[in-house]
Structure 1
Amino acid sequence: MFYTDIVSVIGEAPVGDLYATIDITFRGTIPGGGSLIFQQDTDNVVENGTITPIPEPSTMLLLGIGLMGVAGIRRKMRG
């Protein structure tokens, strides 16, 4: 897996490639039939900006109405 590109930020000079090439080879078996997991993560990315708050009361109201609808349909199917 690899990535090559020139990376730049608006108003700044390009800095070249920020990523490296990764070669991974798995050979053989895992004792006991276990599993092997490889995870690629970008947890060091910082994004500046404003997060729009979600009004919880209306979200809960929609959830409640949906649950009441499901309960009504189940009740109608029984009787």
Structure 2
Amino acid sequence: MTNTDKQNEVNLFFQIASELRRAERENADPAEILELLDEVEAYHKNTSSAFIRERCADLLRRHESLNTAAAR
């Protein structure tokens, strides 16, 4: 993976994380938040970056109760 690809991956992750924070601040529909969390989970599973994996895991842990409620 080139440096440009790595930077693009990091930038996209932070864009998703920013959208998630915005959705939380605006009390968005839980479905929107869950959709963003699905994207975070996909990044967590597929990234080669330890930095992004760690950040994804933090976000997923922070939202674990919402994920659990949606699964019911």
TM-score when scaled to structure 1?
Answer: 0.26
Structure having greater relative contact order (Cα 8 Å, sep ≥ 6): 2
Query: Larger C-alpha radius of gyration, 1 or 2?
Result: 1
TM-score when scaled to structure 2?
Answer: 0.28
